[in-house]
């Protein structure tokens, strides 16, 4: 989901998939691409069929929209039968152009958009732009329902500001058993047993298999920087219950207001709940 749609809530009613083209553009003389890749970032893009008809004003509008989601800019070029034109086309040699055509399945009359930045920023900006273009260009039937389960979430994510690991879901979510041995050595690669159910880009429910072993729970607390004394002070009721024995367990919570919103074609849950809070 993150690779192809840039989001863990993918709207699968239409294609318009994201592509990582860092390997193709790593030697591109366009400094923005090279700087992003050298800094450990990525160059990711979208191919919009028929997008070569976009005016410069429309391209600037899409660039501004991507900027609202953190992108520092939106590089672009149009695909013509004889080669690429406009935007960053002058930086792309024949080999790069051929590789980009193949990667995107691009043809004459299309336009390519690129974001060069940290992976999270590129995904966030392009995911939002993808959904906007899907709606603006009528790339899907509004009566379609495209369901999916999203699984294999990372267990933790690095908090750069506080220099520590945070739970992506919550600290009681179970790691995948086959990856338990990497908790202390490579926590970023450990996946959780969490799952979401998504419809048309809206998360309608989420849940997880919970930790039922006190030893594993204590390892998770330690990974999150929660000292043993603090863990017992805050969560001793849980750890004590787990020591008495708990079966494997899990569940899911469904957002009924969101489900009703989707059923009636609403844009916000404020349209379907009895006493919506004021803005």
- For 238, the token pair is 């849980």
- pLDDT for 270 equals 87
Instruction: With residue 33 as reference, give the H or E element that holds it.
Output: helix 31-38
Q: 147-271 adopts what CATH topology?
A: BirA Bifunctional Protein; domain 2 (3.30.930)
pTM: 0.88
pLDDT (0 to 100) of residue 278: 67
Beta strand pairing status for 156-159 and 111-117? unpaired
Residue 279 pLDDT? 59
Distance CA 230, CA 139 (A): 52
Q: What is the dihedral sign for C-alpha 136, 138, 140, 141? A: positive
DSSP 112: E
Q: Measure the CA–CA gap between 202 and 94, rounded to whole angstroms.
A: 40
| DSSP string of 165-203, one letter each residue | EEESS-TTBPBPGGGGGGTTT-GGGPBBSEEEEEETTEE
| Distance spanning both ends of the chain, measured CA to CA | 31
CATH of 2-136, one of 3.30.1360.30, 3.30.360.10, 3.40.190.290, 3.40.1710.10: 3.30.1360.30
Q: Say what the pLDDT of residue 276 is.
A: 74
Q: Where are the domains of the chain?
A: 2-136, 147-271
pLDDT at residue 77 in the model: 98
Note the pLDDT of residue 232. Answer: 87
CA 34 → CA 42, 73, 109, distances in Å?
9, 14, 27
The per-residue pLDDT for 275 is 79
- Pairing assessment for the beta strands 19-20 and 164-167 based on DSSP bridges: unpaired
**Per-position pLDDT tens, the chain of length 279:** 999 999 999 999 999 999 999 999 999 999 999 999 999 999 999 999 999 999 999 999 999 999 999 999 999 999 999 999 999 999 999 999 999 999 999 999 999 999 999 999 999 999 999 999 999 999 999 899 999 999 999 999 999 899 999 999 999 999 999 999 999 999 999 999 999 999 999 999 999 999 999 999 999 999 999 998 998 899 999 989 999 989 999 999 999 999 999 989 888 888 898 877 765
Helix (H) or strand (E) holding 254: strand 250-254
């Amino acid at each position: 989901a993150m690779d192809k749609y840039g989001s863990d809530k993918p709207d699968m009613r239409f294609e318009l998939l994201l592509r990582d083209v860092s390997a193709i553009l790593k030697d591109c003389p366009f400094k923005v691409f090279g700087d992003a890749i050298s800094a450990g970032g990525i160059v990711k893009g979208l191919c919009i069929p028929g997008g070569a008809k976009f005016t410069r004003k429309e391209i600037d509008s899409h660039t501004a929209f991507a900027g609202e989601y953190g992108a520092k800019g939106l590089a672009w070029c149009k695909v013509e039968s004889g080669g690429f034109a406009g935007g960053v086309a002058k930086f792309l040699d024949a080999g790069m152009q051929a590789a980009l055509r193949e990667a995107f399945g691009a043809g004459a009359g299309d336009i390519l958009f690129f974001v060069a930045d940290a992976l999270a920023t590129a995904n966030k900006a392009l995911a939002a732009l993808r959904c906007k273009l899907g709606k603006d260009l009528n790339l899907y039937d509004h009566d379609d329902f495209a369901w999916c389960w999203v699984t294999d979430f990372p267990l933790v994510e690095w908090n750069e500001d506080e220099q520590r690991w945070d739970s992506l879901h919550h600290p009681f979510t179970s790691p995948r058993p086959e990856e338990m041995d990497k908790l202390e050595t490579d926590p970023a690669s450990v996946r959780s047993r969490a799952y979401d159910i998504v419809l048309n880009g809206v998360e309608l429910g989420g849940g997880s298999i919970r930790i039922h072993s006190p030893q594993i729970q204590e390892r998770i607390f330690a990974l999150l920087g929660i000292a043993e004394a603090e863990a017992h002070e805050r969560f001793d009721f849980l750890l004590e219950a787990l020591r008495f024995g708990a079966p494997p367990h899990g569940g899911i919570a469904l957002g009924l207001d969101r489900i009703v919103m989707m059923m009636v074609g609403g844009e916000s849950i404020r349209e379907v709940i009895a006493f919506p809070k004021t803005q």
